[in-house]
């Protein structure tokens, strides 16, 4: 496995290949990322993982400075997973001048749900993803469904810019108790880690209720409110629990088919750690 830090070296390493399959990450890898790498492997003639903590997608009050940088441990896991190339550029390499050309995703996708609570987040994600797809000459790129809205925004960007890359979604990997794997789980105290299971339990309850027939617009509003209350009652600070159409993440109407077409998405803070999760319904 080659670990490459510059665009020039990356270009020459990729010269020999026609179909890079790429997994963009911010590092601090866990089994969820490694599953994406394993999924990418048969989809290309070379497997590339990128590791870059992208300042553009962090708000000033967020954890950019403290986000764990664990390159050595990440490379060990990637090597074991059969990754061929790790592209881990410095900030100066990827943003040698201020990145004044930016991707501006449409408000309808980027100011709802996560975008409402993290203004500018999806613009930062799209800008770096566009750059990483160009740098790696990706023909396939794999993104986790754990970041469901991110996956949808990236799919739309790729489609509208006619980028020659196939976007693939990878299933969320979970701990034995159901907690979705996330680099930010490492911020949880032992007590919070035990309580963190409530987020996926709440989503499972919503899925069961909708599948059992509580799927009118009024039912959905009641389930969302009940889920927010459950989380609050157990000491969480929920930002949202929403049941949305999978296709565009907009609110469900009474004419929409729900089961097989919906997803429940949630974001909530436990102590100082903000967790997100979702389940397709
Ligand atoms: O999901 C992530 O880790 C990041 O948002 C991504 C896609 C690597 C862009 O920085």
Residue ID of nearest Cα to ligand 1 atom 8: 25
Domain co-membership, 36 together with 123? yes
Chain centre to alpha carbon of residue 52: 14
CATH number at residue 49: 3.40.50.620
1 neighbors 83 (Cβ within 8 angstroms)? yes
Distance CA 243, CA 262 (A): 7
* Residue 25 phi, psi dihedral angles, 5° rounding: -145, 170
| Residue 149 shares a structural domain with residue 188 | no
Ligand 1 center–CA 193 separation, angstroms? 23
Q: How far is CA 227 from the centre of its chain?
A: 22
Sequence-distant (≥ 6) Cβ neighbours of residue 5 within 8 angstroms: 87, 88, 89, 90, 93
Domain membership flag for residue 250? yes
Tell whether 8 and 81 lie within a shared domain: yes
Cα separation values, 176 from 169, 179, 181, Å: 22, 7, 10
Q: Is residue 251 part of a domain?
A: yes
Judge if 21 and 141 occupy the same domain. Answer: yes
> 138 with 257, same domain?
no
> Percent helix, strand, coil in the chain (nearest 5)?
45, 20, 35
* Ligand 1 centroid – CA 25 distance (Å): 5
Please give the order of strands across the beta sheet that includes 273-280. Answer: 237-245, 262-270, 273-280
**Terminal-residue alpha carbon distance, the chain:** 39
- Report the alpha-carbon distance of residue 171 to residue 190 in Å, rounded: 26
Nearest-CA residue for atom 2 of ligand 1: 25
Tell me what pLDDT residue 278 has: 98
Structural domain tally of the chain? Answer: 2
Residue 220's pLDDT is 98
User: Do both 160 and 44 map to the same domain?
Assistant: yes
| C-alpha span between 268 and 113 (Å, rounded) | 12
Whether ligand 1 lies within 6 angstroms of the CB of 22 is answered as no
Question: Tokens representing 106?
Answer: 């449409």
Could you list the active site residues? 33
**Beta strand ranges found along the chain (DSSP E):** 2-4, 20-25, 46-51, 85-87, 140-144, 166-170, 237-245, 262-270, 273-280
Tens place of pLDDT for every residue, the chain, 281 residues? 999 999 999 999 999 999 999 999 999 999 999 999 999 999 999 999 999 999 999 999 999 999 999 999 999 999 999 999 999 999 999 999 999 999 999 999 999 999 999 999 999 999 999 999 999 999 999 999 999 999 999 999 999 999 999 999 999 999 999 999 999 999 999 999 999 999 999 999 999 999 999 999 999 999 999 999 999 999 999 999 999 999 999 999 999 999 999 999 999 999 999 999 999 99
Quick check: is 165 in a domain? Answer: yes
**Cβ partners under 8 Å of residue 104, min gap 6:** 123
Structural contact between residues 93 and 7, judged by C-beta atoms closer than 8 angstroms: yes
In this structure, the answer to whether residues 203 and 64 fall within a common structural domain is no
Per-residue pLDDT, 77: 98
pLDDT of residue 153: 98
Domain that holds residue 272: 183-276
Ligand 1 near 129 CB (within 6 A)? yes
Q: Which of 111, 141, 170 is the last residue of a domain?
A: 170
| Ligand 1 center from residue 26 Cα (angstroms) | 6
pLDDT given at position 102: 98
* Per-residue model confidence (pLDDT) at position 40: 98
Whether 100 and 206 map to the same domain: the answer is no
């Amino acid at each position: 496995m080659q670990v490459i830090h510059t665009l020039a070296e990356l270009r020459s390493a990729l010269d020999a290949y026609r179909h890079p399959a790429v997994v963009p990450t911010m590092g601090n890898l866990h089994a969820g990322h490694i599953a994406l790498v394993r999924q990418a492997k048969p989809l290309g003639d070379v497997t590339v993982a990128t590791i870059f903590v992208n300042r553009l997608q962090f708000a000033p009050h967020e954890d950019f400075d403290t986000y764990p940088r664990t390159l050595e441990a990440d490379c060990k896991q990637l090597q074991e997973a059969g990754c061929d190339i790790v592209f881990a550029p410095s900030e100066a390499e990827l943003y040698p001048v201020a990145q004044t050309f930016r991707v501006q995703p449409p408000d309808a996708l980027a100011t709802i749900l996560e975008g409402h609570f993290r203004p500018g987040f999806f613009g930062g994600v799209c800008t770096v993803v566009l750059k990483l797809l160009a740098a790696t000459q990706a023909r396939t790129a794999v993104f986790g469904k754990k970041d469901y809205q991110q996956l949808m925004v990236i799919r739309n960007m790729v489609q509208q810019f006619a980028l020659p890359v196939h976007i693939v979604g990878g299933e969320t990997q979970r701990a034995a108790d159901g907690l979705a794997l996330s680099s930010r789980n490492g911020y949880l105290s032992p007590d919070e880690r035990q309580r963190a299971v409530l987020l996926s339990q709440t989503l499972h309850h919503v899925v069961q209720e909708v599948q059992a027939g509580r799927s009118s617009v009024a039912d959905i509003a009641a389930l969302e409110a009940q889920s927010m209350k459950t989380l609050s009652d157990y000491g969480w600070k929920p930002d949202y629990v929403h049941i949305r159409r999978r296709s565009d993440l907009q609110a469900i109407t009474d004419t929409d088919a729900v089961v097989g077409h919906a997803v429940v998405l949630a974001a909530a803070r436990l102590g100082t750690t903000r967790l997100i999760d979702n389940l397709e319904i």
